[in-house]
Amino acid sequence: MAEDKSKRDSIGLNAKEGQTNNGFVQNEDILETDLDPSSPVVGPQHNTVDILGPGEPDVKDVRPYAGMPKEVLFQFSGQACYRIPREVLFWLTVASVLVLIAATIAIIAISPKCLDWWQAGPMYQIYPRSFRDSNKDGDGDLKGIQDKLDYITTLNIKTVWITSFYKSSLKDFRHGVEDFREIDPIFGTMKDFENLVAAIHDKGLKLIIDFIPNHTSDKHAWFQWSRNRTGKYTDYYIWHDCNHENGTTIPPNNWLSVYGNSSWHFDEVRKQCYFHQFMKEQPDLNFRNPDVQEEIKEIIQFWLSKGVDGFSFDALPFLLEAKHLRDEAQVNKTQIPDMVTHYSQLHHDFTTTQVGMHDIVRSFRQTMNQYSREPGRYRFMGTEAHGESITKTMVYYGLPFIQEADFPFNSYLSKLDKPSGNSVSEIITSWMENMPEGKWPNWMTGGPDSVRLTSRLGEKYVNIMNMLVFTLPGTPITYYGEEIGMRNILAANLNETYDAGTLFSKSPMQWDNSSNAGFSEGNHTWLPTSSDYHTVNVDVQKTQPRSALKLYQELSLLHANELLLGRGWFCYLGNYNHSIMYTRELDGINRIFLMVLNFGESSVLNLKEMISNIPTRVRIRLSTNSAYGGREVDTHAVTLASGEGLILEYNTRNLLHRQTAFKERCFVSNRACYSRVLNILYSLC
């Protein structure tokens, strides 16, 4: 009865046009229901696939259907119409992946090294006591710098450089440090510093700080332990026996301090003389002692762990002195030895740049490299070597396979004391011709120890000097206030231990025309503000279309956006009637920037005589006189007023660095070419 019922159910399904999916039945016999031929057929006939035990299914007349068993699926997948397209797609995929890998490797192989953050944009040097006072005590501080970070970003600055802020009893802060791991209370707390670092990084900026490892304050704990001969600190400084009678000291030799008179001072506690290259309150550390080198290494690590992105190391030539203590030779050999008291009266062959000094500097670099392994966190190292010859300065770049400084700071333009095309030309060519191949230049127009640009050269040369540093190859460096043309103050009454000659360039930043130039809301400021702050300030100049600040912002924006200025060749054309001329160009870009900067009297230049293939008319891309921007000039007669600078732009396929006549006057740090098709830089030019 059950069997008859099953047959009736199956016939019922077929009669209702149901489809039997025998693919879901495995390892069972399928009952075949034979209808009577004479029976009426309702609906279409359906083929069924029988799976009979272990036998292979016959798919000859069967189309693929959903839910096929794997045995049936394998039968279909083996057919040529399915197998061949599948294999073709597979090998196409493999080939595409290999092509992409090869293309990626090729692009990486031919791509020039990317500019690092210290190369990509200008640095802005801040003397913290004079930038912004946040707590009304008359002294600038770290919070004040943080308050003004938005302003710094409007200048398109990439790196903030803060000069020394360590705890110090000598209030110039740069040379008499009591504790290298503490912030002087004038500037705030360590928490303030940490907040500043975080805020700087949040703005996409980097931070470098000053560090003078050569000496400490005589108030430093190391010196106190050393003068008392305490343990390992006994030889942390340079001590030597000397005669001291009735208040008069007879030093071990004739070595002189930078500030004049003997560089040896008798200590009443230790009953010996200690050596100081600078003031007697600044005893020199003994860098021939490995423990001292280890201490300095740990200080570097301390600040790097705080998030600092780099250092400016100062006074490095003084790190080592000769062991033999022989007298240094007099410049004027006929001068009475007892009358030789000024630093310039001796040849300093035994007290500067001694053998082994650069090994110590390289050890600083090695310490910083340990913190540069994380992508995007390279730690910058700059060196200040004031007074060194150009040849000795270049040694700080390191050797071909031995890394030292990323660059020694180029302060030669900061010493330019009168406008002169010849002097500017000599500074530029001297640096570029002596710089080791592949190294990166830099240019700074001022600093804490230099007379301000406006006071040295005059107000009309502020714009042209800013145009110069932004269009030369390398990193431009600006001392705070130079972007608005601040000048030296005329007087500075200060009852503190300072190098008075450097005070006049450290006056408070001029933010607006309110009381104290917007620097402080207190009743006094540590130095007086300049008398011209009512007209020379940030608030006034940011609304004036022809102000120094506006031009500075335009120059920094052009520098950031133009490959010609960031990566291009520099070709120096010469100095004509105190007007210097040079070009910036890049293979693959059929366009040239021609800079014409007049440091002399008004003149008319015939550019056609100097550059044979220059068009008759060229466009002014930027001018120190903003009214000229976008105009065209006739290259047969370009008129330049005194102190005027032009950035001219024209199209050409005949780049100067390819021409024999200019080859010896063209320089590039990292050669690169531009592909307009792929919009990439490549190095196989």
Of 566, 199, 115, nearest to 376 by C-alpha is 115
CB-based contact 588:595 (threshold 8 Å): no
pTM for this entry: 0.86
Q: How confident is the model at residue 78, as a pLDDT?
A: 77
Given phi > 0 = left and psi -120 to 50 = alpha, else beta, which region is 353? left
Q: How large is the average pLDDT for residues 554-579?
A: 95
Residue type present at position 363: S
What mean pLDDT is predicted for residues 192-198? Answer: 98
Tokens of 43: 């609906």
**Across 18-25, average pLDDT:** 44
SS3 385: coil
Dist CA 426 CA 440 (whole Å): 18
Which residues in 651-675 are b (16+ Cβ under 10 Å) and which e?
A: eeeebbbeeeebeebbbbbeebbbe
| Confidence at residue 204, expressed as pLDDT on a 0 to 100 scale | 96
Residue 387: per-residue pLDDT: 76
pLDDT digits (tens, 9 = 90+) for 72-108: 777 777 788 888 888 899 999 999 999 999 988 988 8
Instruction: List beta partners, residue 470.
Output: none
* pLDDT at position 373: 87
Among 108, 189, 81, which Cα is nearest to 141's? 189
Least confident of 211-215, 341-345, 463-467, 491-495: 491-495
Q: Which of 622, 568, 564, 624 is nearest to 599 (CA)?
A: 624
For residue 683, the model assigns a pLDDT of 86
Name 211's bridge partners. Answer: 313
Structure-block tokens of residue 451: 């007379």
The whole-number pLDDT of residue 369 equals 95
Q: Compute the chain's Rg from CA coordinates.
A: 38
* Mean pLDDT, rounded, for 268-281: 95
Output the average pLDDT for the chain: 89
* Residue 234 DSSP code: G
* Pick among 3.30.420.40, 2.60.40.1180, 3.30.1490.20, 3.40.50.300: CATH of 569-682: 2.60.40.1180
Token pair recorded at residue 347: 């040849």
Instruction: Please state the domain extents for the chain.
Output: 75-110, 117-214+285-320+355-559, 569-682
- Kindly indicate the confidence band of residue 498, based on its pLDDT and cuts at 50, 70 and 90: low
**pLDDT score at 171:** 60
Please state, in angstroms and rounded to a whole number, the distance separating the CA atoms of residues 428 and 468.
Answer: 10
Average pLDDT in the 210-218 region?
95
Cα of 314 vs its chain's centroid, Å: 18
Sign of CA pseudo-dihedral 187, 191, 194, 200: negative
pLDDT exceeds cutoff 90 at 425: yes
Q: What is the pLDDT of residue 295?
A: 98
State the pLDDT at residue 59.
54
Q: Which residue has the tokens 């900026």?
A: 205
User: Which pLDDT does position 183 carry in this prediction?
Assistant: 97
pLDDT confidence of residue 244: 84
Asked if residues 328 and 343 have their Cβ atoms less than 8 Å apart, the reply is: no
pLDDT tens by residue, 504-524: 999 999 999 999 999 999 999
Whether the pLDDT of residue 241 is over 50: the answer is yes
Contact 144, 152 (CB under 8 A): no
**pLDDT score at 245:** 84
Predicted confidence band at 232 (pLDDT cuts at 50, 70, 90)?
very high
**For position 625, what pLDDT does the model report?**
87
Given a contact cutoff of 8 angstroms between Cβ atoms, the answer to whether 618 and 636 are in contact is no
Residue 495 is predicted with a pLDDT of: 64
User: How confident is residue 58, by pLDDT bands cut at 50, 70 and 90?
Assistant: low
The pLDDT of residue 639 is: 93
**pLDDT value of residue 584:** 98
pLDDT tier, 110 (very low <50, low <70, confident <90, very high otherwise): confident
Parallel, antiparallel, or unpaired for β 206-211 and 310-313?
parallel
Output the pLDDT for position 68. 79
324: helix, strand or coil: coil
pLDDT in tens, 142-185: 999 999 999 999 999 999 999 999 999 876 545 789 999 999 99
Higher-pLDDT residue of 625 and 3 is 625
Superfamily of segment(s) 117-214+285-320+355-559: Glycosidases (3.20.20.80)
Q: What is the DSSP letter of 41?
A: P
